[in-house]
Amino acid sequence: MQSDELARPTLADVAARAGVSASTASLAFSGSGPVSDATKERVLAAAADLGYAGPDPRARSLRRGRSGIVGVVLEERIRDAFLDPVNIQMLDGITEGIAPLGAGLLLLTDTGEAGGNAVGIESAPVDAVVLIGCSPRLGHSVEALRRRGIPAVAIEGAAGEDIPEISIDNREATRRGAEYLRELGHTDVALVTLPFDADRTRGELTPELIAGSTADTASERLAGARLVFPDAGGRVAATSSIEEGREAGLTLLADSATRPTAIIAQSDLLAAGVINAAEELGIAVPAELSVLGFDGIRVDGLQHDLTTLAQPSVSKGRAAGEAVVQLLAGRPGESVCFTSTLHVGDTTAVPHHR
């Protein structure tokens, strides 16, 4: 017990006890290479005797040049990033995608240079990295990765040259959704968008905010909507949440004289919030207000079948994971752009004749 504390046994100790060389013992563990069953058994027995818990992953990764860890870089604090089920689904997809690697997932946030000897993006023992929804602000991190020779894959965010990009048809999908609303007869449409900048400025949708955008997703979805409704105004939410959607909705719907007949929300959570706001104000959905979401998640607690642009979040994550696998195998990673499908639920209808 105490000797365990003082000196954990190493492979060499095990080998000595088993009466074989370290190299043989190694083979016995890793399985690759010709080792007689008898010997292997002896080594394993010796290991058990000594309480040896298997090769030290640190030494192994130094020698092998692989750590078996894939980094996931989130732009926000964990708390914020995981607020939206979409991100969680993507994470799940990534897990699936890298399953053949048997690698672990290391959570990294891109909060500038990690102080001291912290394990930041510039010095994490990762074999590859998945960048999630990262803005150009990540430039230097990407540069660091390139220098370190660590392959990367970006989800929803241009990262640069040789970095495969997994994305969806944000603009086109939103355009289709908007088109659908127009076909229903809507002409007076308002938007509730995701934040455009890292500060998450909330408020009215102004040209200034749009111009200063660092968020591709928000910009693209906006552009798509404006292809159909060029003059559509609206509100910018600070984050993708029901509460933010509700606040935006309350503002947009406050004045019954000027309120729109349809609202395009850039996420399902926001859409759910808008619906809540409408119900609070006694506005019937979809009879008096149509609401279009984006994501295609099941919003926990929402008693509507949201009309939305369903994006394959899990597939996105999986594709990213698979690209990582390719990259690590030395093959070029494949960029993929998924297509969202318009799911028509019960939150959209022909406009109410006021």
Partner DNA sequence: ACCCCCGATCGAATCGATTCGGCCTAGAAT
Partner DNA sequence: ATTCTAGGCCGAATCGATTCGATCGGGGGT
Closest contact distance (angstroms) between CB of 68 and DNA is: 11
2 touches DNA by CB under 7 A:
no
By CB atoms closer than 10 A (0-12, 13-18, 19+), residue 347 is buried
Cα–Cα distance between 341 and 321 in angstroms, integer?
22
104 phi, psi to nearest 5 deg? -90, 165
Sign of CA dihedral 184, 291, 214, 89: negative
> Which of its own copies, DNA, none interacts with 77 (beta carbon under 5 to 8 A by kind)?
its own copies
Binding segment for DNA (CB under 7 A), chosen from 58-66, 84-92, 256-264, 295-303, is 58-66
Q: Beginning with the edge strand found earlier in the chain, give each strand of the sheet holding 290-295 in spatial order.
A: 203-204, 234-236, 189-193, 262-265, 290-295, 307-310, 341-343
Beta strands in 118-276 (DSSP E): 128-132, 152-155, 165-168, 189-193, 203-204, 234-236, 262-265
Taking phi first (over 0 means left), then psi (-120 to 50 degrees means alpha), and beta for anything else, what does residue 127 get? alpha
**Which of 16, 22, 44, 105 touches its own copies by CB under 8 A?**
105
276 touches its own copies by CB under 8 A:
yes
65 touches DNA by CB under 7 A:
yes
> Which of its own copies, DNA, none interacts with 27 (beta carbon under 5 to 8 A by kind)?
DNA
Q: Binding mask 49-78 vs its own copies (x if CB under 8 A, - otherwise)?
A: --xxxxxxxxx-xx--x-xxx-------xx
Residue 34, number of CB atoms within 10 A of its CB: 6
> Which of its own copies, DNA, none interacts with 33 (beta carbon under 5 to 8 A by kind)?
DNA
Q: Binding mask 295-334 vs its own copies (x if CB under 8 A, - otherwise)?
A: ---xxxxxx-------------------------------
- Of the candidates 272, 270, 284, the one whose C-alpha atom is nearest the C-alpha of residue 195 is 270
Q: Given the rule CB under 8 A, which residues bind its own copies?
A: 4-5, 8, 30, 51-59, 61-62, 65, 67-69, 77-79, 82-83, 85, 88-89, 91-92, 95, 102-108, 114-119, 122-125, 144, 147-149, 241-243, 246, 269, 272-273, 276, 280, 298-303
Q: Given the rule CB under 7 A, which residues bind DNA?
A: 8, 10-12, 19-24, 26-27, 29-30, 32-36, 38-39, 55-56, 58-60, 62-65
